[in-house]
Amino acid sequence: MDCGSIRSGQSFRKAPIEDQESNHFIIQTKDLLPNGRISYELTPVSTLGEMPKPNVQPGDILILSRGVRFNAGVAWQLPRYATALNMFYIFKPSITELRPEFIAAFLNNPAVQDRLRGFATGVTIPHLKSGDLGSIRIPVPPLEKQQAYVALLETAIQEKELLDRLSSLRQQQLRAAAGFCDI
């Protein structure tokens, strides 16, 4: 079953220039967060010369198309004019039986990431062809199961963040305690 369309992000002849006065924003690789979301702190760019074309809507899934990882993230809260760069494929789901967060979580699964890396071509910078990405079969469990999976994943991400924070605080505590010891 065809569950959506895939298109490439926009290429620019010259690097976009950051412009705090602009109301047009670009989505770069750094904006794809580890939690499968797109950052809300996007870079405003000048529209002088080459015009960025808004190509991302809320609910679209951005998938890295180049590099050593092909992570996916869901764009939800976006400024009115947002353009994903050509390092991304933009997947627009066409069926309501699939939640975008579930698709992104599925694509970010280590087994699927291994498969995507196996498709990648190129020696210097591996890249993924849209046809290979389109060949990935996405399971379609009931919406309740998709929501439960996404909730479990978000809880696991929060748990990891808390454990990392606890470890950092424990290291601070140990360094502070060492200051009281005679060495």
pLDDT digits (tens, 9 = 90+) for 114-140: 999 999 998 889 999 988 888 888 888
Q: What CATH number does residue 38 fall under?
A: 3.90.220.20
**171 shares its domain with 129:** no
**55 shares its domain with 134:** yes
pLDDT digits (tens, 9 = 90+) for 158-168: 899 899 999 99
* Pairing assessment for the beta strands 72-74 and 4-8 based on DSSP bridges: unpaired
**72 shares its domain with 128:** yes
* Pairing assessment for the beta strands 24-27 and 81-84 based on DSSP bridges: parallel
The whole domain housing 174 covers 141-183
The pTM of the whole model exceeds 0.85? no
**80 shares its domain with 160:** no
**125 shares its domain with 176:** no
**149 shares its domain with 86:** no
Helices (H), the chain: 100-108, 110-119, 130-134, 143-178
108 phi-psi bin (left φ>0, alpha ψ -120 to 50, beta other): alpha
Number of domains present in the structure of the chain:
2
